Each structure stands twice: as structure tokens, then as C-alpha cells.
Amino acid sequence: SEFSEDKFVAKVKIEIVVTKEQVEAVIEKIIEEARTGEIGDGKIFLMPVSDVIRIRTGERGEKAERMTGGRSDVFSTTV
């Protein structure tokens, strides 16, 4: 059939939210690590984020953007 499983290609979707100042560095790093030169290397879509809401506390905007002392502190130093 037109939609048989053998016609599907495994893909991964990664969503990353960064500041405007970080955008180009993150793009460059993704391309550096993901590019093979073959069809299927992927695409990068850039979209604005209009707001951030922390579900647990209801905080919005800058107060909700970042957790301190958590995993984001570890990851923010790797990119």
C-alpha cells in the first residue's frame, strides 16, 4: 500500500529554545554535528517563542524561562 511501513524513514525531532544571541552559535553547532552531506541530514526551523509558562507555579515570561541549579545549568555550558 501507499503507506506501508517499509516506506517510512526513522526521524528525530529536537526542539531547543535559546536567546536571540545564542541562535547563530546553536545553528552552527547543529550543522557541524549533523551534516553528513547525504540526503536526509535534516532541516532547522526557526520560530519565535511568544511566551513561556511554568506549569507548576504559573510563572510567565522571564521568571519561567530558567531553572537555577537544575539540568539547564549543566547543559547551558555545553553549547
Whether pTM > 0.85 for this model: the answer is no
pLDDT in tens, the chain (79 residues): 577 777 777 888 999 999 899 999 999 999 999 999 998 899 999 999 999 999 999 999 988 887 565 555 555 555 4
Q: What are the domain boundaries of the chain?
A: 5-76
The cell numbers describing 8, all together, are 517510512
- Count CA atoms closer than 13 A to 67's CA, side-chain side: 11
Residue 5, pLDDT score:
75
Residue 1, pLDDT score:
59
Q: Name the phi and psi angles at 53, rounded to 5.
A: -125, 125
Q: What is the 3-state secondary structure (H, E, C) of the chain?
A: CCCCHHHCCCCCCCCCCCCHHHHHHHHHHHHHHHCCCCCCCCCCCCCCCCCCECCCCCCECHHHHCCCCCHHHHHHCCC
Residue 7, pLDDT score:
78
